[in-house]
Amino acid sequence: MKVLFVYYTPSGGVETLNRQRCRALRLAGIEAHCLYYTWGSGMQNSVDFPIYVTKNDIAIKHYLDANNYDAIVVTTDHVSFCRLRMLGYTGKLILEIQGYGPKEVARAQLTSAVSYVNAFASGLLNPCTPHIASLFAELYPHIPQFNFNNCFDTTTFSYVSAIPPEYPVIAWLGRIEDNKNWREFLYIGYYLSQYVPNLRLWMFEDNQLSQPAEREQFYQLIQELGLGDRLSIRSNVPNAEMPYYFSVIGDSGGFLCSTSKVEGAPYAILEAMSCRCPVLTTDSDGVSTSIFHNYTGKFYTLGNIENAVNEGLQLMQEQGLREQIRASAMSHVQQAFNPHMYAANFSNMLHSI
């Protein structure tokens, strides 16, 4: 069988997911390609499957006709169903939702998609994100729905033994936008540094995906909190280099801090867990399949800086708990997000529709 994944731009978690699953699906005899409408920073990552980058209808029709895909999985962009049918595609269409950010945005978008889904979709897919699964059931009761974890290859993205920095590091990864909640990370780092004087903050971001006004506020808050000497900002780090960073963050005695308000199925958390880097996160809905409090990571209450600092200090200071979390997290990723399991689930979905 042959499948095409369609998304706006190769960046962030969806780009990581597509790289991971296009390889995993070979385990089930499925050949997978990707179509993105615009270029993105993820194009720097090495792949061994076809990727097309265009929003030109003639070019897209050429790819559709040449490959005769059995199914097309469209991530988020439900409007493109009409376009694909207009270009002559007659196979199965699946709408996939990896996350919209705020829950009210998810409801508004999926409500506006009702006519498109009912007219064109053969199935709906999401990675066990509770609020998305609930909206699927409410809005599209007659469309087949599939909920299973994304895949993660721990054999290619895993712990790297390296000399860690001589200071503990807490890290953040995301876009400088409201839902990723960068402000909260800066405040957590500021107050945590009152207890850990040599603490350093590392932020990993895509500097092509932020609004100028938001970025201005970002730099202003850094200055107000006096974090300039502690903070390092790294933009568009190739994914192949991230195992090193996550590994040394874990070995430094620090952790990954995820401050998102709402998430679908964040890959950064799985990447950190696979590299023995502990995770402190908000209970942002989509992390419920990866983080179990005090077992595979730690939760703090969104907006409660004191709670975040206390949980972070415990993660840094209680070595027995810390090592248990590091080991349990790595094992959980290996089992619950296994590529073989994803390939089997995906294959069963295709056969059922």
Show contacts of 36-41: CB within 8 Å, 24+ apart. 36/6, 36/7, 36/8, 36/9, 36/10, 37/7, 37/8, 37/9, 38/8, 38/9, 39/9, 39/10, 40/9, 40/10, 40/11, 40/15, 40/208, 41/10, 41/11, 41/206, 41/208, 41/236
Please identify which residue in the block is written with the tokens 């290996």. 334
Residue 101 is predicted with a pLDDT of 84
pLDDT of residue 266: 86
pTM: 0.91
**Cβ neighbours of residue 21 under 8 Å, at least 6 residues apart?**
5, 32, 150, 151, 339, 342, 346
Q: Are 199 and 167 in contact (CB under 8 A)?
A: yes
How would you classify the pairing of strands 51-53 and 71-75? unpaired
Q: Answer whether 96's CB lies under 8 Å from 125's CB.
A: yes
Q: Do residues 155 and 331 lie in contact, with contact meaning Cβ atoms separated by under 8 Å?
A: no
**What ranges do the domains of the chain cover?**
2-151+338-352, 169-336
How many C-beta atoms surround the C-beta of residue 103 within 10 A? 15
Q: Among residues 101, 97, 129, which one has the least CA distance to residue 113?
A: 97
Render the burial of 219-229: b for 16+ CB within 10 Å, e for the rest.
eeebeebebee
* From the candidate CATH numbers 3.40.50.2000, 3.30.499.10, 3.30.70.240, 3.30.365.10, the one assigned to the domain spanning 169-336: 3.40.50.2000
Question: Tokens representing 38?
Answer: 């615009």
What is the predicted pLDDT for the residue at 210?
78
Q: Are strands 200-205 and 71-75 parallel, antiparallel or unpaired?
A: unpaired
The token duo for 212 is: 């100028």
Q: Is 245 in contact with 202 (CB distance < 8 Å)? A: yes
pLDDT for res 6 = 98
Q: Rounded to 10 degrees, what is the CA torsion of 19, 275, 229, 189?
A: 100
pLDDT (tens digit, 0 to 9) for every residue of the chain, 353 residues total? Answer: 999 999 999 988 899 999 999 999 999 999 999 999 999 988 998 899 999 999 999 999 999 999 999 999 999 999 999 999 999 999 999 999 998 888 999 999 999 999 999 999 999 999 999 999 999 999 999 999 999 999 999 999 999 999 999 999 999 999 999 999 999 999 999 999 999 999 999 999 988 777 889 999 999 999 999 999 999 999 999 999 999 999 999 999 999 999 999 988 889 999 999 999 999 999 988 899 999 999 999 999 999 999 999 999 999 999 999 999 999 999 999 999 999 999 999 999 999 99
What is the 3-state secondary structure of the chain?
A: CEEEEEECCCCHHHHHHHHHHHHHHHHHCCEEEEEECCCCHHHHCCCCCCEEECCCHHHHHHHHHHHCCCEEEEECCCCHHHHHHHCCCCCEEEEECCCCCCHHHHHHHHHHCHHHHHHHCCEEEECCCHHHHHHHHHHCCCCCEEECCCCCCCCCCCCCCCCCCCCCEEEEEECCCCCCCHHHHHHHHHHHCCCCCCCEEEEEECCCCCCHHHHHHHHHHHHHHCCCCCEEEEECCCHHHHHHHHHHHHHCCCEEEECCCCECCCHHHHHHHHCCCCEEEECCEHHHHCCCECCCEEEECCCCHHHHHHHHHHHHHCHHHHHHHHHHHHHHHHHHCCHHHHHHHHHHHHHHC
pLDDT at 35: 98
Superfamily of domain 2-151+338-352: Glycogen Phosphorylase B; (3.40.50.2000)
Amino acid present at 154: T
Are 2-151+338-352 and 169-336 equal in CATH topology?
Answer: yes
